[in-house]
Amino acid sequence: MDFADLSKYDDLCSDIFLDALYLWFKTSKMNTDHRRPRIPANKVLDIIQRRVLQERNLNDAIVELLEYMPNAGYEISDTRRYKDHGKKVEACLVATKNWQVGDELRLCTGMIANLNPSEDAMLRQGEKDFSIMWSTRKGCSCLFLGPARFVNHDCDSNCKFISLGQNSVTFKVVKEIKCGEELTVFYGNHYFGENNNECRCATCEAHGEGYFSTYSSMTEDDINNTDGRRRSSRKRKSAIHDDYVTDHIPRAKRTTTSERRNSASVMSIDFLCGREQEEQQQKQQQQQQQEEQEQQVAQQLSSSSPSSPSQSLPSPSKQTQSIHYKPPTSPLDLLCDAVLDAESNKLTVLVGPTPNKDTTPSAVSISMYYQQESSPLSDDLSSDTKADSAVGMSPHSHGWKEEYDYDEQHQQQLQQQHTTHREESKDINNITIENDDEDGLSDFLDDQSELSSIGSTELAEVIWSDDDDDYDDDEDSLSNENNIKGGNKKKKTKFITSSSTTNGEANISNKKLACIACKRELRREEISEQVGCDTSITADLVTWTWTPSALFTDWRPKRCPRCERHFTVFRQEWPNRKIKKKKQVQADIKSKKTTGKKQSSSKKKSATKRTAVPTPAPLKIDLVDVFNNDDVFSPLDTPLSDFSGDEDELFNSPL
Ligand SMILES: C[S@@+](CC[C@H](N)C(=O)[O-])C[C@H]1O[C@@H](n2cnc3c(N)ncnc32)[C@H](O)[C@@H]1O
């Protein structure tokens, strides 16, 4: 991919998937003439449906989609730290889970395209040099785009760049990161002026350095030239370019002025090139040379043809700020192109109890996340309900998994899956869908995602109570059976995980909805207010962060009132489902009552606390079928929340 393509794709994808659907401001664009494609979200869905689902041509676009997902362990968020004294908002990367040293953010990648000197100059002229790296090895500047390009610099960063295959970059965690913290890398020693004295990172602020240092660090000229105010980082950068001595330039090639300039003001990617990748880099260089030769030949050929479109294109030096070297392509084509070029594949959505191993790691799951009571749940695989479609490739077990002690047998099973998965994906150093894995998505699943992505939608049991506000009752002390039997009208929602029901024993726990990021519990009234629904159906609400899965639904994301960063509350897909489950549970309770007399007294005691519910078969919805089947629902026309079709057909049909 050359830099022009990369720029266009990045502009397009940021526009569609970030600006239009997620952020409330526009992210910076490489092409100043970039216009938001007049493709409504439905159209995007349509494209995905036709090109990806029907034609079954998945490719790196799916990877791109997954990369933009929050449960990759990060999300693209907003910050006012870095520009215009907090007046201008910029993008940043924020962790959506805890990360540990050594973890790799495999779903936060950036692509690098080489820049030739004129392209480089053009970008600088148009002040589009906010994401340029210098590669000593390649001896050229590189354009760095993709989700990873939103990483900001910190002088004591918590991540570092690492190479992820050819021309792809990701991050390795070098300092423990807590959920909600910004992900940062170290760009270089002089990226923000000499010795980064215009750096506005949190570390500089804490130590009174960089931009936050006293004016004593400014030269008299600086003060005179700026009426006592600091020059902008960019002005300062250019002002000091020529003052640089080579000693200031870390590891960059120190030959020409322009190269020194590059080195001073761009991120260095030297450290991406570990020794173990030497060979790969050489191959890369060879391939690059070959490509360049091919390009030259192609250029010669095209210039010999008068009708050639490339001839009408302006030379880079005549370009203004746009990066269109190629004949304009419609955004639709761009998106389609990005979506094509992959092996035939099938995207499956699982909605239902924890599927067995055979169905697992490949699925993109619509699942839910409920925050547990603070007491550990020994009998409940609460983690089954974590919202996810893809998560990071953390080599460690941590995060929620640490917090909850769950079914041992299930844990072993999952660990085994994880090991198998790890072995299968050991050699993969690039995020591509290219393994033998049936759905090709297992690479995106780790010890967490295997649990969460395959996670079950729990069986919801509703119990009615007189005290609607009593949200904090100890559910363990409650018996569903007793509550119903005793005519207690307090409404309680109990969730019975499939993992527990496999033991023939229903483990029940009352769960609260909470923001995934800030963990703030959301009260039903609040949720009702947010989603505009009656409090009586808040049991159907689930917490989500933004995910492409939401593209396939009509869920309306809302921001968490506290952290104001995460889209939190959505309607469940099929609100009426609860009623079915309730009936089912009641029926089970009834049948249990008749057989209950036969139970031993100890078993009786246990039966009053827990209700065994047969595990329904997991509902696998082939998106192709779903999208094609108007009888089920059409995500393009009918909001899922309005779905009033035959649920029995949906939930009880054989898979
Ligand atoms: C690779 S981009 C990072 C993403 C950027 N925030 C955005 O919204 O596009 C680099 C730009 O981020 C800003 N930036 C990142 N770290 C910074 C820091 N420590 N101090 C000042 N500006 C910073 C500068 O504007 C810089 O040109």
> Per-residue pLDDT for 105 more than 50?
yes
Position 534 scores a pLDDT of 59
* CA 131 to ligand 1 center in whole angstroms: 8
Residue nearest (by alpha carbon) to ligand 1 atom 10: 130
Nearest CA to ligand 1 atom 23: 82
Rounded CA-CA distance 494/28 in Å is 46
User: What integer best gives the mean pLDDT of the chain?
Assistant: 52
Distance CA 390, CA 441 (A): 9
Q: Percent of the chain scored above 90 by pLDDT? A: 7
Across residues 312-322, what is the average pLDDT?
Answer: 30
Distance 310 CA to ligand 1 centre (A): 34
β-pair type (348-351, 364-365): parallel
For a substitution probing ligand 1, which of 10, 108, 152, 237 has the most ligand atoms within 8 Å of its CB? Answer: 152
Which of 566, 619, 571 has the alpha carbon at shortest distance from 459? 619
Q: What pLDDT, on the 0 to 100 scale, is given for residue 468?
A: 31
Give pLDDT, residue 36: 63
Rounded to an integer, what is the distance from CA 82 to the centroid of its chain? 23
pLDDT band at 183 (very low <50, low <70, confident <90, very high): very high
CA pair distance 364, 545, nearest whole angstrom? 15
Distances (CA, A) of 218 to 152, 198, 230, 366: 24, 11, 8, 55
How does residue 200 score in pLDDT terms, banded at 50, 70 and 90?
very high
Q: From atom 11 of ligand 1, which residue's Cα is the shortest distance away?
A: 130
> 24 CA to middle of ligand 1, Å?
18
Do 105 and 162 form a contact (C-beta atoms < 8 A)?
no
Q: What is the DSSP secondary structure assignment for residue 630, as one 8-state letter?
A: T
Residue 181 has pLDDT above 50, yes or no: yes
What amino acid occupies position 599? Answer: Q
The yes-or-no verdict on residue 614 having pLDDT over 50 is no
Cα dihedral 46→49→54→56 (10° resolution): 130
pLDDT above 70 for 565: no
- What is the rounded CA–CA span in Å between residue 427 and residue 429? 6
Question: What spacing in Å lies between the alpha carbon of 91 and ligand 1's midpoint?
Answer: 8
What is the predicted pLDDT for the residue at 151?
93
Q: Is the pLDDT of residue 340 over 90?
A: no
Lowest mean pLDDT segment, chosen from 180-194, 230-244, 343-357: 343-357
Confidence of residue 253 (pLDDT cuts 50, 70, 90): very low
What is the DSSP code string of 526-551? HHHHHHT--GGGGGG-EE----GGGG
Residue 458's nearest CA partner among 615, 641, 635 is 615
Contact 104, 272 (CB under 8 A): no
> Could you tell me the pLDDT band of residue 102, with boundaries at 50, 70 and 90?
very high
Pocket around ligand 1 at a 6 A CB cut-off: 28, 82, 90-92, 130-131, 149-150, 152-153, 192, 199-201, 233
Tokens standing for residue 640: 């899922």
Name the 3-class secondary structure at 577. helix
Q: How far apart are CA 643 and CA 255, in angstroms?
A: 66
Rounded to the nearest angstrom, the distance between the alpha carbon of 378 and the centre of ligand 1 is 45
Radius of gyration in angstroms for the set of CA atoms belonging to the chain, rounded to a whole number: 27
Whether 50 has a pLDDT exceeding 60, the answer reads yes
The tokens 């060979």 sit on which residue? Answer: 279
Q: Using 50, 70 and 90 to split pLDDT, how confident is the model at 202?
A: very high
Burial label for 465, CB within 10 Å (0-12, 13-18, 19+), is middle
Average pLDDT over residues 113-118: 87
**Which residue matches tokens 């640490």?**
402
Mean pLDDT of the 89-106 span: 89
In the predicted model, is pLDDT for residue 147 greater than 50?
yes
The more confidently predicted of residues 464 and 60 is 60
Please give the share of the chain, as a percent, with pLDDT higher than 70.
Answer: 28
Residue type, 24: W
State the pLDDT at residue 29.
Answer: 87
DSSP state of 17: I
Residue owning the nearest CA to atom 15 of ligand 1? 152
pLDDT over 60 at 20, yes or no: yes
Per DSSP (E only), the strands in 202-356 are 267-268, 348-351
**12 within 8 A of 305, measured Cβ to Cβ:** no
User: In the prediction, which pLDDT does 397 show?
Assistant: 22
- SS3 category, 490: strand
Supply the ipTM of this predicted assembly.
0.99
Range scoring the smallest mean pLDDT among 192-196, 208-212, 275-279, 562-566: 275-279
Residue 92: the pLDDT is 92
Q: What is the pLDDT of residue 185?
A: 94
Tokens of residue 354, six digits: 């924890």
Alpha carbon of residue 251 to chain centroid: 33
From the CA of 243, how far away is ligand 1's center (Å)? 23
Look up tokens 């003439």; give the residue: 33
| Ligand 1 pocket test target in 27, 29, 82 with most atoms within 8 Å of CB | 82
Mean pLDDT of the 206-220 span: 72
Residue minimizing CA distance to atom 1 of ligand 1: 131
Which pLDDT tens digit goes with each residue over 382-434?
Answer: 222 222 222 222 222 222 222 223 334 444 554 554 444 434 333 322 222 22
* 234 CA closest ligand 1 atom index: 27
